Amino acid sequence: MGSIELKSVRKSFGAVDVINGVNLTIPDGAFTVFVGPSGCGKSTLLRLIAGLEDTSSGQILIDGKDATNIGPAQRGLAMVFQSYALYPHMSVRGNIAFALKMAKQPVDVIDQKVKRAAGILNLTDYLDRKPRQLSGGQRQRVAIGRAIVREPKAFLFDEPLSNLDAALRVQMRLEIGDLHHSLKTTMIYVTHDQVEAMTMADQIVVLDRGAVAQVGSPLELYNKPNGLFVARFIGSPTMNIVTGPSADKRGAATIGIRPEHLQLSKTSGEWSARVRIAEHLGSDTFVYVEGEGVGPMTVRAEGEAELKPGERVFLTPIEDRLHKFDKDGKRIGA
Amino acid sequence: MALKQSMGKRVGMSAAAWLIGFLIFFPILWTFLTSFKSELDAFAIPPKFLFFHWTAENYAEVQSRSNYLLFAYNSIVLSVGANIVGLIIAVPAAWSMAFVPTKRTKDVLMWMLSTKMMPGVGVLVPIYLLFRDFHLLDNRLGIGFVLLMMNLPILIWMLYTYFKEIPVDILEAARMDGASLMNEIVYVLTPMAIPGIASTMLLAVILSWNEAFWTLNLTTSNAAPLTAFIASYSAPEGLFWAKLSAASTLAIAPILILGWFSQKQLVRGLTFGAVK
């Protein structure tokens, strides 16, 4: 069990409103990702759920019970910090066992649980080492192990992979995914990396300036962003945004088209453009062009497109993959 | 990054460093040497450096004339005792300022530091009169209290800078792990802060040990520490250089030895927070 519900949650630091009335339901067992640019309040929201910050107003329900005013220790949640926050003076064993020791569990139970967690996380050989003798990935695993042994109602991850190098990040991402699969415990994961959000989440919560911009599955957000903010934020490379005659013609103030939904031609098309640079990834080519009258755009071409800087190309959007927005940046139509 | 220097420059730098080190150390060395001279050799001109008649009679004389052990005992009790009490006050104070700061925390810290800026002589008369009226003159409790108040700002400041270096995440992790405030202090913060607490304590003990202004003015015999022991050898009827040196050597030896063995901690304490 571990459903979490936020009702009109607000948080201000002095005169600054960091969270402006968030209503949110996190279903039991779901992998929910909070994503947004830095300063959008996603970490603060997580800390409010954890109990490390007090709400200014509103309610936080955990499993239907009001947890707004109870301390972090009593909420039954476990948190994995960006900095790992391992106890530097304790061995890996001591770190993982700490919460159980605080809960005054019998020694043999602690020992058994620590061994099991270490087994799951491939830490068995490192139990007697100190955190400083571990690599970044191993430290992160210890932090996760510390969370697992408590059998929490939910795991809270605060940008847990941002201190790891790219390769390790992909690996740990998979490991956290596997972990969610086998434990089936509610997980809330904060990140500013939309790729992490897209690949891991059952449900993504996009935050913008302390408010929820949109909640939905990764593909819902990709296919039907409810506004320009989400449209720009989800998807990589970023969606191309076009205003002016091309948008007017389609009855919108702004239209958006993803780089993978632009057709590239050397002979004809809706927009004429000059190639600025082509990035060859092997499987794809990202072509950055300067469109005439529509400004800079990004095109994703399959395979190895033979393009040189300065070359003239033509672009045509796939009509049914176009996103239309009104003058307030809201989505038009379904 | 290694700075490449020519051989000559390196030799020059080493020589300069040794020279400066020797100059700083010279008074202590001279005191030590003088303590083994006869009173006549002690002020001989030209000074005798190593070739004099070595004698330990000054130490015997000093020992028989005054009770070194009582003074040493007072020094230990006062400097260690006052600072243990100081730590008990300073740890929670520094802690709350480091981890639960308010808008006024910086002001409070500055105010505490400002109390160190006033010369002690400015309050000597009122404090002396208070001590007289409360029968605290030449009383260990009285002088201990003054030493405590004198060091408290330093204790709090140093501990504050140490605690500031401890990542708050780790304390929050302990809170998430179900640790009570007490458990957080005992199992997480204190073990992490032990090096800081130790070097703070060490520095404060040295400062108290060497404190001469208040100890000379407020104590005479019963509660007098080693500073008073040294001073008693510069009598109005004439200086006894050799005996004064012997007394000085005896007085500074314990703290010098303590400092020597803990120099690593001390340097860390003095420069903590200077980098990073």
pLDDT at B15: 94
Q: How open is the CA angle B29-B33-B39, to the nearest 5 degrees?
A: 140
CATH code that applies to domain B69-271: 1.10.3720.10
- Same domain for A258 and A159: no
With an 8 Å Cβ cutoff, is B8 touching chain A? no
Residue B108, CA distances (Å) to B148, B161, B251 in order: 18, 14, 36
pLDDT at position B95, please? 87
Q: Tokens 């780790």 appear where?
A: B170
Q: Are residues A183 and A311 in the same domain?
A: no
Chains A–B, number of C-beta pairs less than 8 Å apart:
57
Task: Give the model's pLDDT for residue B274.
Answer: 44
Are A137 and A247 found together in one domain?
no
- Contact predicate B215/B127, CB 8 Å: no
- Partner A contacted by B180 (CB < 8 A): yes
Q: What is the pLDDT of residues A105-142, one digit of tens each?
A: 999 999 999 999 998 888 999 999 999 899 888 998 99
In single-letter form, the type of residue at position B208 comes to S
- CA pair distance A264, A266, nearest whole angstrom: 7
Taking the C-alpha atoms of A120, A126, A130 and A135 in order, what is their torsion angle to the nearest 10 degrees? -80
Nearest Cα to Cα of residue A194 among A256, A163, A236, A223: A236
Select from A202, A230, A258 the last residue of a domain. Answer: A230
Same domain, A23 and A87: yes
Domain encompassing residue A254: 238-325
Looking at the structure, do residues A162 and A61 belong to the same domain, yes or no?
A: yes
**Could you tell me if A207 and A252 lie in one domain?**
no
Assess if residue A332 is contained within a domain.
no
Check residue A241 and give its pLDDT.
93
Distant-in-sequence, close-in-space partners of A15: CB < 8 Å, separation ≥ 6: none
Put simply, the answer to whether A85 touches B183 (Cβ < 8 Å) is no
Name the 3-class secondary structure at B135: coil
Residue A282 is assigned to a structural domain of this protein: yes
Close Cβ partners of A139 (under 8 Å, ≥ 6 residues apart):
A84, A86, A131
User: CA-CA distance, B153 to B159, in Å (whole number)?
Assistant: 10
Q: Which residues of B touch A87 (CB under 8 A)?
A: 170, 173-174, 188, 192
**Statement: residue A2 has pLDDT above 60:** yes
Rounded Cα gap, residues A97 and B187, in angstroms = 13
Report how far residue B72's alpha carbon sits from residue B79's, in angstroms, rounded to the nearest whole number: 11
Domain count across chain A? 2
With respect to residue A146, please indicate whether it lies within any of the assigned structural domains. Answer: yes
Chain B positions in Cβ-Cβ contact with residue A146 (cut-off 8 Å): 173, 177
Chain B positions in Cβ-Cβ contact with residue A103 (cut-off 8 Å): 178
Residue A4 phi, psi dihedral angles, 5° rounding: -125, 135
Alpha carbons B12 and B18: distance in angstroms, whole number: 10
The first and second tokens of residue A195, run together, are 């790729």
- Contact A78/B176, CB-based, under 8 Å? yes
Q: What is the arithmetic mean of pLDDT over A50-63?
A: 93
Percent helix, strand and coil across chain B, each rounded to 5?
75, 0, 25
Helix, strand or coil, per DSSP, at residue A24: strand
| Contacts (Cβ under 8 Å, ≥6 apart) of B19 | none
Angle between helices B140-164 and B68-99 (to 10 degrees): 40
The answer on A83 and A206 residing in a single domain is: yes
Mutate to test the interface with A, among B176, B182, B190 (most CBs of A within 10 A): B176
Asked if A73 and B178 come within 8 Å (Cβ–Cβ), the reply is yes
CA distance A138 to A126: 9
Structure tokens at A135: 């690599």
pLDDT at residue B69 in the model: 85
pLDDT (0 to 100) of residue B13: 92
Q: Which residues contact A214 (CB under 8 A, 6 or more apart)?
A: A205, A206, A221, A225, A226, A227, A230
User: Given A230, A247, A281, which residue is the final one in a domain?
Assistant: A230
Residue A9 has pLDDT above 90, yes or no: yes
How far is the alpha carbon of A99 from chain B, nearest alpha carbon, in Å?
Answer: 5
- A150 to B192: CB separation less than 8 angstroms, yes or no: no
Has residue A331 been placed in a domain?
no
Q: Which of the listed residues A166, A196, A230 is the one where a domain comes to its end?
A: A230
- Interface check A72 vs B, CB under 8 A: yes
CA atoms within 13 A of residue B189's CA, in its CB half-sphere? 26
| Peptide bond before residue A237 is cis, with ω within 30 degrees of 0 | yes
Tokens of B76: 């230990």
Residue B157 is predicted with a pLDDT of 92
Q: Is the pLDDT of residue A328 over 60?
A: yes
**In this complex, do B177 and A89 lie within 8 Å of one another by their Cβ atoms?**
no
Q: CATH number for the domain including A261?
A: 2.40.50.140
* CA A210 – CA A231 distance, rounded (Å): 18
CA A216 to chain centre: 12
Same domain, A70 and A179: yes
Determine contact: B176 vs chain A, CB below 8 A.
Answer: yes
| Same-domain status, A71 and A193 | yes
Determine contact: A130 vs chain B, CB below 8 A.
no
Query: Between chains, do A87 and B179 touch, taking CB under 8 Å as contact?
Result: no
CATH code for position A207: 3.40.50.300
Tens place of pLDDT per residue across chain B (276 aa): 556 668 888 899 999 999 999 999 999 899 899 889 888 787 777 877 777 788 888 888 888 877 888 888 999 999 999 999 999 899 889 988 998 888 899 999 999 888 888 888 888 999 999 999 998 888 889 999 999 999 999 999 999 988 888 888 899 999 999 888 888 888 988 888 888 888 888 889 989 998 888 888 888 888 888 888 888 877 665 677 888 888 888 888 888 888 888 777 666 655 554 443
Would you say residue A255 has pLDDT above 90?
A: yes
Residue B178 forms contact with A (CB below 8 Å): yes
**One domain, residues A94 and A148:** yes
Which of B233, B219, B234 lies closest to B62 in space, CA to CA?
Answer: B233
Question: With a CB-CB cutoff of 8 Å, which residues 84-123 of chain A face chain B?
Answer: 85-89, 98-99, 102-103
Residues of B in contact with A85 (CB under 8 A): 167, 169-170, 172-173
Give, rounded to a whole angstrom, the gap between the first and last alpha carbons of chain A: 35
* Bridge partner list, A60: A6
Q: What is the pLDDT of residues A148-192, one digit of tens each?
A: 998 899 999 999 888 888 888 888 889 899 989 988 999 999 999
Determine which of B177, B186, B189 to mutate to test the interface with A (most A C-beta atoms within 10 Å).
B177
- Is A149 an interface residue toward B (CB < 8 Å)? no
Estimate to the nearest angstrom the gap between the alpha carbon of A172 and the chain centroid: 14
Q: Are residues A22 and A111 in the same domain?
A: yes
Whether A216 and A258 map to the same domain: the answer is no
Average pLDDT of the residues of chain A: 91
Question: Of B167, B174, B183, which is closest to A83 when you measure between CB atoms?
Answer: B167
